[in-house]
Amino acid sequence: MTTDVGKRGIPAMAYPAIYTSSPMSLFLVIKHNHRSAQATLCLSSPVFLQGLEDAQPFILQYDANNLVPGTISLGPTAINLPQTCLTEIARSTTPQICTLSLSLSSCCPVWCPSSASIEPKAGCEAMFHQLAALAKATRLCIVFDYNYLRTENRTLIQQLIAHPEQLSGFPLRYRQGQFRCADASIFEVPEGVNTDVETDAAVKDEPPPPYVEAGSKRPRDVPTSPSSSSSSPIRKRVLFSPPVPYPISPTEKDSTAPPSFQPPCSSPTLTPNLQDAVHAAVSKLLPSVLEALLPTLFTTPSSPSSPMSSQTSNPSPPPPPSLSALGTMLSEHAARRLELKIENICDNMLAHASYQRDTADTEFLEALEDKRLDLIMAKEDCVAELDRVVTDKLHMFREDCTAEEQEVGDRLEQTAITVCDNGKEKMDALISTERDFLRRERGWLNWERKVFERDKGEFESAKENAKSGGLERSARAGSAPA
């Protein structure tokens, strides 16, 4: 049976064992064939490449026969992950975050797009370098939620920890239509591709120019000649916003306050007495200035009247009050700012709705895929259970047939013995009857023979007597006269 965890895989974080400070967000895919004793762990991560709009997936393949026996372990997390990362890889509110440590005998194969040049897009070099370091590492750690693993996958992890040499790599030849298999050398960026980034990094690493102390004037360097001004230009300080290590949602972008950069104080610090005097003067003059200025900005409406009198006297709505030039300018400025703010709010709402829709679609597809895998596993379990029940019933039927056959044989043997005994008894009785009959017949035959012999004797004697009597008659007849 071949198992595959999810369509996209398990959300995980991976990092080389020697670079614990730079974990990378990706997906863990487990390929396993129990019958063929094949297992492979894959780490998939999308990377933006030069000349392509969409992110292209890169897959790192860790075959079971490439793992070093005795060096694989599963334990708690060894590094401190941000809460956003823990929320990203957790499956539920009670996750079991663990770390799978692997040691490879050689660098893993890399599946990359077959029709694209392997050059990172500008601004995406960090993820590209993280993936390159992960592909070149022979010792790495994978952090994920143990609740994602099914029973067969947990058994596979334990088998990988105990005896990985008993397993071979899962074949991934079906990816050759869209990907090509390479090694970690594809991440070596040619010279000249990343020069801008290196220049920015060099500028970023340089210390900022020193600021003058408060209370002193900023010196001005007045060039005396064009050559001096051209030879030593004034270098501006470059400000960089802090990088966001992990992508956040539009709502998090709205709720996260942007970093504020305060300009250096170039004006001299006020003394406490002067500052108190300024505050006192402003507090004293501000109310009167506002009372005099505000009525000129906005015209005051007419004295209020009752609604009934206003309806009867003037049925049409009153004209809008006229504004002064400053009021008109402030109104137009406020309208433009309000329009931009509303557009920004609408864009954020649309982006948030799109993000929620994409998240819901992803969760729905993942849930659908989980349900499909659950149904497949349930079907396989039902088929296996049915096979087991049928096998047990077949064995029981064979045992019953064997017992019935033995019993029928015993019954037939007993019946045959009984029939033979009864036939023998009847045959003996018949033979005895026949013997008695033959004995009687022989007695009758002996008696008849005796009677026959007696009759024969009597007949012989009668014949002799008759013969002798005939001779006498013939003699008397010859002597008689003619």
Q: Which amino acid is at 343?
A: E
Judge whether 186 and 118 are in contact, CB under 8 Å.
yes
Q: What one-character-per-residue DSSP string does 284-333 give?
A: HHHHHHHHHHHHHHBPPPPPP--HHHHHHH--SPPPPPPB-HHHHHHHHH
Give the 3-state secondary structure of residue 230: helix
| Chain centroid, CA 332 distance in Å | 56
- Say how many residues make up the chain: 482
Separation between Cα atoms, residue 57 and residue 152, nearest integer Å? 27
Residue 174 exposed, middle or buried by CB count within 10 Å (0-12, 13-18, 19+): exposed
Residue entry with tokens 């005998």? 105
* Predicted local confidence at residue 477, as pLDDT: 53
* Predicted local confidence at residue 390, as pLDDT: 93
Residue 333 region by backbone torsions, left for phi larger than 0, else alpha for psi between -120 and 50, else beta: alpha
Phi, psi angles (nearest 5°) of residue 150: -85, 180
End-to-end CA distance of the chain: 144
Q: Which amino acid is at 360?
A: A
* Predicted local confidence at residue 386, as pLDDT: 92
* Predicted local confidence at residue 320, as pLDDT: 61
Give the 3-state secondary structure of residue 449: helix
Separation between Cα atoms, residue 135 and residue 107, nearest integer Å? 7
Query: Six-digit token pair at 236?
Result: 């501006």
Separation between Cα atoms, residue 239 and residue 426, nearest integer Å? 126
Torsion angle defined by CA atoms of residues 30, 34, 36 and 42, in that order, rounded to the nearest 10 degrees: 0
pLDDT along the chain (482 residues), means of 10: 61 89 89 88 89 85 92 88 87 88 92 80 86 92 91 90 90 69 76 41 42 40 39 38 37 40 41 72 78 62 46 57 72 86 90 83 83 87 90 91 89 89 87 88 87 86 80 56 46
Judge whether 109 and 183 are in contact, CB under 8 Å.
yes
Spatial CB neighbours of 217, under 8 Å, sequence gap ≥ 6: none
| Chain centroid, CA 244 distance in Å | 28
* Claim: this prediction has a pTM higher than 0.75: no
Judge whether 96 and 77 are in contact, CB under 8 Å.
no
Separation between Cα atoms, residue 178 and residue 133, nearest integer Å? 24
Spatial CB neighbours of 190, under 8 Å, sequence gap ≥ 6: 119
- Sign for the CA dihedral angle at 329, 335, 336, 337 comes to positive
Separation between Cα atoms, residue 364 and residue 361, nearest integer Å? 5
* Predicted local confidence at residue 233, as pLDDT: 41
